Amino acid sequence: MSTVIDGKAYAETLRARIAESAAELKLKHDFVPGLAVVLVGEDPASQVYVRSKARQTVEVGMQSFEHRLPADTDEDDLVDLIGQLNRDPAVNGILVQLPLPKQVDSERIINMIDVQKDVDGFHVENTGRLSIGADSLVPCTPAGCLMLLKHYVGDLTGQNAVVIGRSNIVGKPVSMLLLREHCTVTIAHSRTRDLPSVCRQADIVVAAVGAPEMVKGDWIKPGATVIDVGINRITDESGNKVLVGDVEYDAAQKVAGAITPVPGGVGPMTIACLLRNTVIAACRQQGVDVPDSIG
Ligand code: GUN
């Protein structure tokens, strides 16, 4: 039996520390960090995420600004809104929920966000800084994966890490973070030859493909640490709608040393890391030190 990596509990303690740091900033420096979230269209999953982000922002004592725009929004209107948010001193972090509708050039929008307010860490400058090992705002899901790994595994030096998935949101940035921790990193993807045997070499597996239970239990090396980033809604054999990850959990947890469940693993860490990035961005903009409790 493996250790269950409890991301829900870890995220709760992180949010408590963020609330403490927000209170400290108000008391010592008289400012309240603010996060603006922009949602274009009515994608149900995105609506759920945006609602949770706004609720948790307020719960930790920060300001939340929500902008909901119709699905047929013009790219130029979105550009105008980003410009306004960039100029607004009460807004320290800007997140544009992805995916954006087809008529909008996502890359143009992301790169319009003031790099200091890019709490998603998707701006090309933050991406570049991460890849050269410089200080940057780090994408939230990858940052959450790293926190859990360091908490449950400790020093990652020399570990063989296999990241399955090469997205800009998770696969590539998590690979950069693992490299920074001195792992030997393999990025596997849909064209990788003999993925099961690549995976069997891994001390750490990060599955971020968005394919329900694609990673089988017998692909996991005994004792390995498994971080499952997938959140897939499927209908099970009894006709119930359930959430599953990218890893076949029941089989994998019999072999792994430690594994994240779905739900309750990586998922809750993403918003907690977004709130943390907002505090960090606000402190940098105000020219004050980031409180030790989240540093
Ligand atoms: N859509 C899915 N994940 C994310 C994320 O981390 N940030 C944004 N902005 N959109 C997403």
Single out the residue of 78, 143, 108 nearest to residue 280, CA to CA: 143
In the chain, the percentage of residues whose pLDDT exceeds 70 is 100
The one-letter amino acid code at 257 reads G
Length of the chain: 295
Neighbouring CB atoms inside 10 A of 213's CB total: 21
For the record, the structure tokens of 82 come out as: 């980003």
Pairwise CA distance, residues 268 & 282, whole Å: 22
- Is any ligand 1 atom within 6 A of the Cβ of residue 207? no
State the pLDDT at residue 119: 98
Structure tokens at 211: 């394919």
Per-residue confidence band for 1, with pLDDT thresholds at 50, 70 and 90: confident
Tell me the per-residue pLDDT of 83-94, one tens digit each, with 9 for 90 and over: 999 999 999 999
Exposed / middle / buried, residue 125 (Cβ in 10 Å: 0-12, 13-18, 19+): middle
227 beta partners: 206
Q: CA-CA distance, 265 to 192, in Å (whole number)?
A: 26
Q: Confirm if 219 and 199 have CB atoms less than 8 A apart.
A: yes
From the CB of 95, is ligand 1 less than 6 Å away?
yes
Q: Which atom of ligand 1 is nearest to the CA of 140?
A: 6
Question: In the predicted model, is pLDDT for residue 77 greater than 90?
Answer: yes
- What does the DSSP 8-state code read for residue 58? H
Model pLDDT for residues 6-32, shown as the tens digit of each residue: 999 999 999 999 999 999 999 999 999
Is pLDDT of 295 > 80?
A: no
Q: Is the pLDDT of residue 249 over 90?
A: yes
pLDDT per residue as tens digits for the range 173-223: 999 999 999 999 999 999 999 999 999 999 999 999 999 999 999 999 999
Mean pLDDT of 3-8: 98
Residue nearest to atom 2 of ligand 1 (CA): 98
Between the CA of 197 and the centroid of ligand 1 the distance, in Å, is 31
Average pLDDT, the chain: 98
pLDDT band per the 50, 70, 90 thresholds, residue 170: very high
Q: Is 241 in the active site?
A: no
Q: Which residues contact 253 (CB under 8 A, 6 or more apart)?
A: 1, 2, 4, 259
Is the omega angle on the peptide bond into residue 173 within 30 degrees of 0, that is, cis?
no
pLDDT in tens, 209-238: 999 999 999 999 999 999 999 999 999 999
